[in-house]
Amino acid sequence: MKPTSLIDSASGWREPILGSDKLSHEIFSFLESRFLFGPGETLTLDCGGGGGGRGRGRVRILSIDGGGGGGELAAAALARLEARLRELSGNPSARIVDFFDLAAGSGAGAVLAAALFTRGSVSAADAAAALALVRSDDDRRTRKKTRTRSWIFGRRSRGGVVGALDRVFGEATMRDAAKPLLIPCYDAATGAPYVFSRADAVEGDAYDFFVRDVCAAAYGSAAAAVSVDGATRVLPAASATAMASPAAAAVTHVLHNKQEFPFVAGVGDLLVVSIGNGGGSGGGAAASEAAEELLRIAGATQADMVDQALGFAFGESRSASYVRIQGDGVTAGRTAEAMLAERSVESVLFRGRRMTETTNGERLDWAAGELAKEEERRRRSKTPTVLICVVGDHRLDGVRRLLGFSMIIL
């Protein structure tokens, strides 16, 4: 019998008939909800492709993988996406943060996500420069060369990744993020995943961390991350290995955070752009080549599993609500631009993977069109889609606790 490839041709994977697809979803919906959202909780997922979520608008999520990759594919994808958004909106100074409601990142993706959402009006090119600075200082640290100067941020490094992150983010904390931001890692102290989030930081100083420490934790270069008041201490393992794809954490956060996303009833109300790592070897703490390769494979496998589970969770709305940008994982030594020119790979739980007729770049262009349409719909609508807590002077925190947080309507 002729063996079949894990990545089949576009014509080789025929979509099942509608009744079979619905039956499969009903059979595995309970298992899927437990897989994504944990035991002891029943969650109804609205998988309608064009249901009520389109009338209310969709929450736009940006997820950037770590997974041992160096972030080259993500940086190139963000640059193309931003350029297309500027073209569609007619605003030459438009930024990624203007078109997304939440960002999540792990590993190198955490640096990109934090740069885009924390440093104000930072472009995709500036975020890529920040990541390049961190990676260059990581390489210098590995080669025992710790003194360097940033050509974009202009402060002298204390040495290594931590010093580079200090130059990029300074004294900014998770509370200072312009919009919801999630960065996961594995807490060795509790033996469980830990997610740094703006939502928790807004609630109190015990959950507010310096962004530089959070990114160092995600990058695997921090011994510990301590909250601004010293009450909470996290002993991190690199999120690029522990949670290579933060997309599931981001979706879970939005579905359960009714304070900021009150109108989200299910995944049909979401638009997720998830950018993979391209399958290359990447940053993090130095280790032997064999250990690095093992960690890369583990991270890539975990990211693929999350991608397949999310593809299945979105059901019939998958093609309209979930965009995954990922290298094919087969060809080595490709540039990020070459990976954007490749045909995109689509993965669904229990069905495997297939190559589509569109390229990764074309998928990004389509996603930019959907993001621009949603932004235009919000400008015309009188009904808010997202309510973001506003945090200003800490001296007003007591008043906010009595009157409730101020909100930004998006």
pLDDT digits (tens, 9 = 90+) for 69-110: 678 899 999 999 999 999 999 999 999 999 999 999 998 999
* Section 167-192 average pLDDT: 92
- Give the Å distances, CA to CA, from 278 to 6, 127, 141, 229: 17, 18, 24, 38
Say how far apart CA 270 and CA 254 lie, in whole Å: 9
- Give the Å distances, CA to CA, from 349 to 4, 182, 274, 346: 17, 25, 16, 10
Residue 290: what pLDDT? 67
* Section 38-59 average pLDDT: 53
Is residue 181 within 8 A of residue 198, CB to CB? The reply is yes
The helix (H) or strand (E) run that includes residue 118 is: helix 108-118
Residue 136 in this model has a pLDDT that exceeds 90: no
Tell me which of 170 and 46 has the higher pLDDT.
170
* Section 316-332 average pLDDT: 79
56-381 CATH: 3.40.1090.10
* Section 272-291 average pLDDT: 64
Residue 289: what pLDDT? 63
User: What global pTM score does this model have?
Assistant: 0.79
| Rounded (10°) CA dihedral 202, 207, 213, 214 | -80
Is residue 349 within 8 A of residue 311, CB to CB? The reply is yes
- Give the Å distances, CA to CA, from 375 to 60, 238, 267: 10, 34, 19
In the three-class reduction of DSSP (H, G, I as helix; E, B as strand; rest coil), residue 258 is classed as coil
How many CA atoms lie less than 13 Å away from 315 in the CB half-sphere? Answer: 26
Residue 190: what pLDDT? 87
Residue 349: what pLDDT? 74
Tell me which of 4 and 215 has the higher pLDDT.
215
- Give the Å distances, CA to CA, from 327 to 271, 300, 360: 21, 11, 8
> What pLDDT digit, counting tens, does each position of 389-408 carry?
876 544 334 333 333 445 66
Residue 331: what pLDDT? 57
- Give the Å distances, CA to CA, from 188 to 193, 194, 215, 308: 9, 10, 16, 27
Is residue 174 within 8 A of residue 201, CB to CB? The reply is yes
Say how far apart CA 165 and CA 179 lie, in whole Å: 20
- Residue 67: pLDDT band (50, 70, 90) is low
- Residue 316: pLDDT band (50, 70, 90) is confident
Known catalytic residues are 106
* Section 299-314 average pLDDT: 80
Instruction: Provide the edge-to-edge strand list for the sheet that holds 352-359.
Output: 7-8, 352-359, 343-348
* Section 358-380 average pLDDT: 95
* Section 243-256 average pLDDT: 89
Residue 167 in this model has a pLDDT that exceeds 50: yes
Amino acid, res. 137: D
Is residue 251 within 8 A of residue 32, CB to CB? The reply is no
- Give the Å distances, CA to CA, from 273 to 99, 297, 319: 11, 23, 11
* Section 167-191 average pLDDT: 92
Window from 50-54, 136-140, 169-173, 321-325 with minimum mean pLDDT: 50-54
Say how far apart CA 186 and CA 208 lie, in whole Å: 17
Place of tokens 């690199």: 238
How many CA atoms lie less than 13 Å away from 303 in the CB half-sphere? Answer: 34
Amino acid, res. 317: S
Give strand pairing partners of 197: 182
State what percent of residues in the chain have pLDDT above 90. Answer: 42
Burial class of 53 by CB neighbour count within 10 A (0 to 12, 13 to 18, 19+): buried
